Chain A
Amino acid sequence: MPQRLITALVLVIVLLAAAVQAGCWDLRQAEDLGYVMATAVDRTPQGLVKLLVQVPNPRALAAGPRGGVTPGASISSKAFRNYEVVGRTIFDAIRAAAHQSPKRLFFAQNRTVIFSEDLARQGLGDVLDFFGRSVEIRRRLNRVFVAKGDVRKILNVPNPHGVCPALRIDNIVRWRGQTSHFAAVPLSKVLETLSLDGQEPFVGVIEAVANPTATPRVRKDLSMEPPLTITLTGAALFRQDRLVGFLNEPETRGLLWVLNEVRGGQLVVPGPGGKGQIAADIHGGQATIKPELTDGRIRMTVEISVVGDVAEAEGPFDLSKPEVAKEIDRLCAAAVRREVLAAVAKAQEVQSDVFGFGEAFRRRFPQEWKTIKDDWPEIFPGVEVLVKVDAEMIHHIGMISKSRAISVP
């Protein structure tokens, strides 16, 4: 038995020797990687891929109050680096970045993918393959955006709350339920929608706008307010993989209503009787699409039920009265309906079925769908869309029932 044990040990040592000899395989130290936090893709006029990746600089983080001889503590360094590289494909560009980056770029922590408007208008298909194929890219965690304006500017706005702008985008997305006025579509959703015949993808829109609170620049100081600020706004509509148009903020919410993606938001409607205004806090909605086929005409009925609260009531009304409550419900329902119809109108205008009406139709009428499948983009603009909204906005009305306007005589 001992001699068998020794043989087994020899075997293990041989294996270990082989392992050491062959190198470290997949071992890579955490600090040797450059964690890409945001990836932006553009196309040069020559048709090459221009890639911009954002990598945080941990050395800037390490310069905390640790004392001692922490290397790098004395050098004040920028919290992130942006690398811009050009290549024939995305992968080519990433590897081209190796000429500049001291760390191997690592994409598993990436959460933001931004395409330039130009590229999106030319079509995403070619570049999306990398994002779908790569093991490092997390389809579900990445949010896809189209940039209005220069991507470089957007990704260079300092983030006073965190390490880099990418994390700021991530956090804005996290609180999207505050307005539901912009889309934040996961990469997985885009890819899945692209694989469907009766639905077109849409993505969020990102933009750098002037910061009204920017401090006049005196000297280079980290604590100053930057001149630009990042904002997410609206949605970009695609036909197949090509950008064809944008939705503004209320229209975006109109789209999100149909897709059951509204997590919350504000709804401002004129008060009952046309006096004052009511601001409601949406809690969520539930929508169903019912396709109908009568005499060769396709009609979609979208039924939405909305639940929410009154957050503000500026005007002389008494919310404790049931009829006032009913009126508010009706007004809110109308507002939601307007949003949805505006979105439908815009989508039909650019022939982009982002709502998945085609899919809904296919599920209900599979045989008929086969005949119209190829003509769907032409048929879609002519589809009649009915929107029925049932709003129930008075769950809570806050701490007071009557507005101050009438409580003071």
Chain B
Amino acid sequence: MREEGQISAYQAMGYQVSIVLATAILFVPAITAQYARQDAWLSLVLAYLFGSLQVFVATKLALKFPRETVIQYAPRVAGKILGKVIGFIYIFYFFYVAYFVQREFEALMSAAYLPQTPIIVVIIMLTLLAAYVLYGGLEVLCRVNAIILAVALFGLLLIFLLIVKDIEFTRFLPFLENGVGPVVLGAVVPGGWFGETAVILMLLPFIGNQGKTLKTSLLAVTILFVVMEMVVIGAVGIMGPNETGRFLYPTFNIARRVTIEALPILERQDAMFMMIWVAGMLMKLSTFFYAGTLGLAQWLNLRSYRILILPAGAVMTALGMQAWENIVELKSFSGEVFPLTIIFVNFMLTGFLYLLTFLKPKSLQGAS
């Protein structure tokens, strides 16, 4: 089955940016600063290189099959059974990220804004919005994303400008206090997160000007890198690595710090940050939800993915609710387990498929 919409490479770049940004921005500074401490910014540079490599491989692979998604060509590349299994791993990965996003979303919402509200309400609200986007299709997703990304980047920049006066650059000294090891360890998490841009595997067939995809994908990782650097430097520079590592959500705390003595109305406006972040989370959830549902429909050779939206959403939500008992489990998972799992899919699995296309050039036939 085919999705009828068509998007441009720059719109796809928009997704690639916003899907990583929404969650990474909350968790990455704390996790990275825990290991790399004041050298967190350096970890990000490593992560950037690693992320670029992942998205490079993914885009190269996708470009070999310009009319199909990874679910469709995996059986041809890897053999019927193995291909279907790989396809299923991808589909599960998309839902896995999606329900992880649901829970991350719920974690901050219930911690900071709606402590008394049952978490399932918040999750269902977001999931229904995502389902609404999915009914609209890829074009709607990309249009909403364009607006949200513009607003979100502007909002982040504004917050950054308001707190930049508090950054003390001495906090980044001394350089490489504990050697390179912690810096590499700190790069694992953001590196994994940057690799999520490999979702291009599912989006590529719907891109009109595919020639630009490689460029825009790398550009997406670059934008992410710049924004994340901004956030990490802000967090570490203001609060110091120890405090940054201690917070569950350092970025949220930075937003809470915005004060201008001359303009007391600007204090405590972190709820504004929340609103932008909700929009960002919606985009991330929608994209992975979309990729998963579309993939599932293709895997099962269905005529339309739309009928799967609601039941798949329900299964996703149920899996998410089941997966983690509390925020402590979630945080430890997101720091220690989640990045490796997504690196496995985005890097290892994708790389494996990419290598197979060289071993079995026959599989490329009919792809153009």
Given contacts A135-B115, A140-B256, contact A19 B242 (CB under 8 A): no
Q: Which A residue's beta carbon lies closest to that of B114? A: A26
Which residues 351-407 in A have Cβ within 8 Å of B in the complex? 359-360, 362-366
Q: Does A139 have its Cβ within 8 Å of any Cβ on chain B?
A: yes
Write the nearest CB–CB distance from A176 to chain B, whole angstroms. Answer: 11
Q: Which of B111, B114, B116, B242 contacts A195 (CB 8 A)?
A: B242
Whether the Cβ atoms of B267 and A141 lie closer than 8 Å is yes
Alpha-carbon separation in the docked complex, A365 to B124 (Å): 53
Q: Look across to chain A and name the residue whose beta carbon is closest to the beta carbon of B246.
A: A195
Min CB gap A395→B, angstroms: 22
Complex Cα distance, B166 from A139, in Å, reads: 14
Q: Does A108 contact B (CB under 8 A)?
A: yes
- What 1/0 mask marks residues of chain B from 105 to 129 whose CB sits below 8 Å from any chain A CB? 0000001111111100100100000
Which residues of A are found within 8 Å of B113, using beta-carbon distances? 26
- A138, A140, A141, A363, most chain B CB atoms within 10 A: A140
Check if A188 sits within 8 Å of B257, measured CB to CB: yes
Given the known inter-chain contacts A25-B114, A26-B114, please indicate yes or no for A140 contacting B257, CB distance below 8 A: yes
Q: Which of B153-161, B169-177, B188-196, B222-230 contacts A (4 or more CB under 8 A)?
A: B169-177
Is A22 interfacial (CB-CB < 8 Å)? yes
Q: Are A25 and B116 in contact (CB under 8 A)?
A: yes
B362 within 8 A of partner (CB): no
Collect the chain B residues with CB atoms within 8 Å of residue A327's CB.
Answer: none
A192 lies within 8 A of B116 (CB): no
Chain A CB within 8 A of B4 CB? no
Q: A22, B118: Cβ atoms under 8 Å?
A: yes
In the complex, A321 has a CB within 8 A of chain B: no
Complex CA gap A330/B124 in Å reads 69
Q: B112, B124, B261: which contacts A174 (Cβ < 8 A)?
A: B261
Among residues 130 to 171 in chain A, which have CB atoms less than 8 Å away from a CB atom of chain B?
135, 138-141
A192 touches B240 (CB 8 A): yes
Residues from chain B with a CB closer than 8 A to the CB of A10 are none
A359 to B241, CA, bound (A): 13
Q: How far is the CA of A230 from the CA of B253 in the complex (A)?
A: 32
- Asked if residues B268 and A141 are in contact (CB atoms below 8 Å), the reply is yes
Contact B117 A26 (CB under 8 A): yes
Mark A12-55 against chain B: 1 for CB-CB distance below 8 A, else 0: 00010011001001100000000000000000000000000000
Return B4 CB to nearest CB of chain A, in Å. 18
User: Which chain A residues lie closer than 8 Å to B177 at the CB level?
Assistant: 366
Q: Does B259 contact A (CB under 8 A)?
A: yes
**CA of A257 to CA of B152 in the docked complex: distance in angstroms?**
39
Contact of B174 among A15, A22, A174, A362 (CB under 8 A): A362
- CA gap between A140 and B239 in the complex, in Å: 11
Number of A residues near B (Cβ < 8 Å) is 25
| Size of B's binding interface in residues, CB under 8 A | 26
Residue of B nearest to A365 (CB): B174
| Neighbouring A residues of B139 by C-beta, 8 Å | none
Let me know if B174 and A135 touch, CB within 8 A. no
Partner of B268 from A26, A108, A191 at Cβ < 8 Å? A108
Residues of B contacting A25 in the complex (Cβ-Cβ under 8 angstroms): 114, 116-118, 121
Please determine whether B243 and A192 come into contact, CB atoms closer than 8 angstroms. Answer: yes
Cβ–Cβ contact B243 & A191, under 8 A: yes
Contact at B112–A135, with CB atoms within 8 Å? yes
**Separation in Å of the B183 CB from the closest CB of chain A?**
14
**B contact residues around A195 at 8 Å (CB):** 240, 242-243, 246
Task: Give A135 to B118 CA distance when docked, in angstroms.
Answer: 18
The answer to whether B256 and A139 touch across the interface, beta carbons within 8 angstroms, is yes
Find chain A residues with CB under 8 A from B240 CB: 192, 195-196
Chain B residues with Cβ below 8 Å from A141 are 259, 267-268
Residue of A nearest to B117 (CB): A25
Does A140 lie within 8 Å of B118, measured CB to CB?
Answer: no
User: Which partner residue on chain A sits nearest B175 by CB separation?
Assistant: A366
Say yes or no: A26 contacts B116, CB within 8 Å.
Answer: yes
In the complex, which residues of chain A have a beta carbon less than 8 angstroms from the beta carbon of B112?
A: 135
Q: How far is the CA of A139 from the CA of B259 in the complex (A)?
A: 11
Are B259 and A140 in touch, CB under 8 angstroms?
yes
CB pair A363 B170 closer than 8 Å: yes
Considering only residues 74-118 of chain B, those with a C-beta below 8 Å from chain A are 111-118
- B242/A363 in contact, CB under 8 A: no
CB closest chain-B residue, reference A24: B116
Q: Tell me which residues across on chain B come within 8 A of A18, comparing CB atoms.
A: 121
Which one of A19, A138, A196, A363 contacts B173 once the chains associate, using CB atoms below 8 Å?
Answer: A363
In the complex, the answer to whether B174 meets A363 with C-beta atoms within 8 Å is: yes
Smallest CB separation, A212 vs chain B (Å):
30
Residue of A nearest to B121 (CB): A19
B280 nearest CB across to chain A (Å): 21
Residues of A within 8 A of B261 (CB): 174
Proximity bits, B225-268, A CB within 8 Å = 1, else 0:
00000000000000110110010000001001101010000011
Chain B residues with Cβ under 8 A from A140's Cβ?
A: 256-257, 259
CA distance A364 to B175 in the complex (A): 10
A287 to B242, CA, bound (A): 24
* C-alpha spacing A18/B121, complex, angstroms: 9
Q: How far, in angstroms, from A15 to B242 measured CA to CA in the complex?
A: 43
Q: How far is the CA of A26 from the CA of B122 in the complex (A)?
A: 12
Kindly supply a per-residue 1/0 record for chain A positions 171-213, scoring 1 wherever the CB is within 8 Å of any chain B CB and 0 otherwise.
0001000000000000010011001100000000000000000
**Least distance between B131 CB and chain A CB atoms (Å):** 11
Alpha-carbon separation in the docked complex, A360 to B173 (Å): 9
Please judge, given known A-B contacts A25-B116, A140-B257, A141-B259, whether A192 and B239 are in contact too, CB under 8 Å.
yes
With a cutoff of 8 Å between Cβ atoms, the chain A residues found around residue B253 in the complex are 139
**A26-B116, A191-B243, A363-B174 known; A135 vs B257 contact (CB < 8 Å):** no
When distances are taken between beta carbons in the complex, the residues of chain A under 8 Å from B116 are 25-26
Q: Contact string, A80-120, partner B, CB cutoff 8 A, digits 1/0?
A: 00000000000000000000000000001000000000000
Instruction: Report A-chain residues with C-beta under 8 Å of the C-beta of B117.
Output: 25-26
Kindly list chain A residues whose C-beta atoms are within 8 Å of the C-beta of B239: 188, 192
How far in angstroms is the closest Cβ of chain A from B221? Answer: 32
State which of B124, B173, B257 has its C-beta within 8 Å of the C-beta of A15: B124
CA distance A55 to B90 in the complex (A): 56
Bound-state Cα–Cα, A294 to B299, Å:
71
The 4 closest A-B pairs by CB, nearest first: A363-B173, A366-B174, A195-B242, A25-B117
Chosen A-B contacts, 24 in total, with CB atoms closer than 8 Å, are A15-B124, A19-B121, A22-B118, A25-B114, A25-B121, A26-B115, A26-B116, A135-B115, A138-B256, A138-B267, A139-B253, A139-B256, A140-B256, A141-B268, A192-B239, A196-B242, A359-B170, A360-B170, A362-B174, A363-B170, A363-B173, A364-B173, A364-B174, A365-B174
What residues of chain A have their CB less than 8 Å away from a CB belonging to chain B? 15, 18-19, 22, 25-26, 108, 135, 138-141, 174, 188, 191-192, 195-196, 359-360, 362-366
- Beyond A141-B267, A192-B239, A195-B243, 11 additional contacts (C-beta under 8 Å) are A22-B121, A26-B115, A138-B267, A140-B256, A141-B268, A192-B243, A195-B246, A196-B240, A363-B173, A363-B174, A365-B174
